Amino acid sequence: MKLVYTDVLVIGGGLAGLRTAIGVKRRGLDTVVLSLVPAKRSHSAAAQGGMQASLANSAMGRGDNEDVHFEDTVKGSDWGCDQQVARMFVHTAPKAVRELAGWGVPWNRVRSGDREAVVNAEKITITESPEAHGLITARDFGGTKKWRTCYTSDGTGHAMLFTLGDQSIAHGIPVMERKEALALIHEGGRCYGAVVRDLVTGELTSFVAKATVIATGGYGRIYKVSTNGIICEGTGMGIALETGIAELGNMEAVQFHPTAIVPAGILTTEGCRGDGGVLRDVDGHRFMPDYEPEKKELASRDVVSRRMTEHMRKGKGVKSPYGDHLWLDISLLGREHVEKNLREVKDICHYFLGIDPAVDWIPVRPTQHYSMGGIRTRHTGESTALKGLFACGESACWDLHGFNRLGGNSVAETIVAGMIVSEFIADFCQSGESEISIPTALVREFHAREQARLDEILTSKGKERASDIRRRMEEIMINKVGIFRTGTELDEAVDELQDLLVRSRSLGLESRVRGANPELVGAYRLQKMLKVALCVAVGARQRTESRGAHSREDHPQRDDANWLKRTLTTWKDEGDTLPAVDYEPIDVASMELPPGFRGYGQADHRNHPDTEARLSEVTAIREQLSGADRFAIQNRLMPFDHQLPERYREKNECLEEPVEKTR
């Protein structure tokens, strides 16, 4: 048995994983990063549009601050988020953007003077102030009151990932590529590391660590069509689920992005619409103002995706061999803008569609894009149920996004969570409670179990093919657990997925190679993916309301009275075919922003019994502190500073709110 000891094991080499590794390394801890692919090829590189942070440098961002960003985030979540975490996030995001600038991310900058922009399909002139010249600028994004999405043209994720990759090298952090965690090592409610397979040689290695971090991204590839990279299969959540202890939160909360190209399903950034692009139907009509007259194309993503689907259902879609679609028109932005600020979109359209988006309309339709659900953690990033296991980024549910996330908040979350969670991990590792006292025999037991499972798959004479089962799972998820959901279809989905899980226990392989063997990899990942899919489908079936991206056509009302709570799923026994489901109430009485009307369509929600009382309390506090600064009011409503690592507690500075220097 090959055995490696380290202080911190980070599973996942994207933005969240690398920033976490850098944070713990800076605290003097040894850390190892495992990645399925070369780290700079992680799916984080696909993020195009930008990263939200309330810098308020650009003219269209003036008046923005953490309070406005917080309100946008809470409303975007449809009041499903943890408001303490949302506060921690919006407070740290400006620090994260500036840190990345110092490390070399080439953020687009403000240029003083007049410039042309397209807003609501009309050209306007924006005048930037001389004092903002050279500062980090921002673009508009969906669901926001201010322009706050910092960007590097439309290659933001790429620039950020390469910068963090270089920083990990500078800090001497080993990133081990082509490594896959098969199982977590745990005993007595404590995680001690993972059993890891080399995807090239097939060799197993057991990593023992004081803290184990899962930062493996989302589970988009359980769907037939997704903007996610092919490595985003939810297996990080799967190995947590298979401990029988760790909880997954809000797995039914799945976001569909409005503008993926047809038929490939590749993302065209929200920056297209943020920069002034519009959506058109088969008649060339711009239809979003008919549904959402205020925000139009820049309503929250879940809203735009539903409106597009509704419009196609009315017969207004463009017919194609790949199904109906609509048009994204960015030609009105002009060639210079497209080739400078949307050049990645231009390349995607050229290579995958054979069109020029500076002239031609882009065929798009809503496609699975993001997973709000993940490993349920505290604000520290530590699992609520399995000590020593941490998670951050899209694989975690700490719960920043609730039931819908805003564009630009996920890229920001990868960095902010890495900054914050790494401090808590370091605190944990430098305390007495992180001591490892397990016998080598326990590690050997987990190592042997995983080797036996691989051997069983390789020698099985089963008749089932993993590719057939996976293909059917993807079809079930896209057709029955998609943008719109019904009880009948969800019942069918759960039943069929259970049957597929049973069938997946009788797999047979054509290739018996123990080393690099894609068929073997697909086989041993399959059960994890099916379990994750069942968590999504069961959670969706039981949640008889509509909230954020979870839209039940048979229960269209948001029901705070009965459903203002998080779904928690666990997989108690290996032989089970359904997850165990529990719920975690969301405390209205402690909210800074009590539940209300989100601002889209008609106000149609059922109030929580505590909402009216909390609204009265919030109003009274604001009246009592009339004349006080916004920090004092916020602190009285919902203190959060004490939950932040000390190094990130300082106030943020902007042009409109200079911070008095104390030293």
C-alpha closest to that of 217 among 37, 454, 480, 419 = 37
CA distances from 570 to 3, 101, 232, 404 (A): 29, 40, 20, 22
Task: Provide the terminal-to-terminal Cα distance of the chain, rounded to the nearest Å.
Answer: 55
DSSP state of 533: H
Hey, what are 567's tokens?
A: 């779904």
Catalytic residue (one of 19, 43, 87, 273): 273
171 is catalytic: no
Residue of 411, 334, 399, 326 whose CA lies nearest to 366 = 326
Looking at residue 576, the DSSP 8-state letter turns out to be -
Cβ partners under 8 Å of residue 33, min gap 6: 10, 12, 13, 17, 18, 21, 39, 168, 173, 174, 175, 176
**How far apart are the C-alpha atoms of 328 and 491, rounded to whole Å?**
35
Q: At 189, list the tokens.
A: 């409610």
- For residues 5-39, one letter each, b for 16 or more C-beta atoms within 10 angstroms of the residue's C-beta and e for the rest, the string is ebbbbbbbbbbbbbbbbbbbbebebbbbbbbbbeb
Helix (H) or strand (E) holding 197: strand 190-198
Burial of 95: CB neighbours in 10 Å, binned 0-12, 13-18, 19+? middle
d(CA 140, CA 282): 26
Annotation marks residue 273 as catalytic: yes
Find out whether 637 and 592 touch, Cβ atoms under 8 Å: yes
The single residue of 43, 148, 158, 257 carrying the catalytic annotation is 257
The catalytic site residues sit at 257, 273
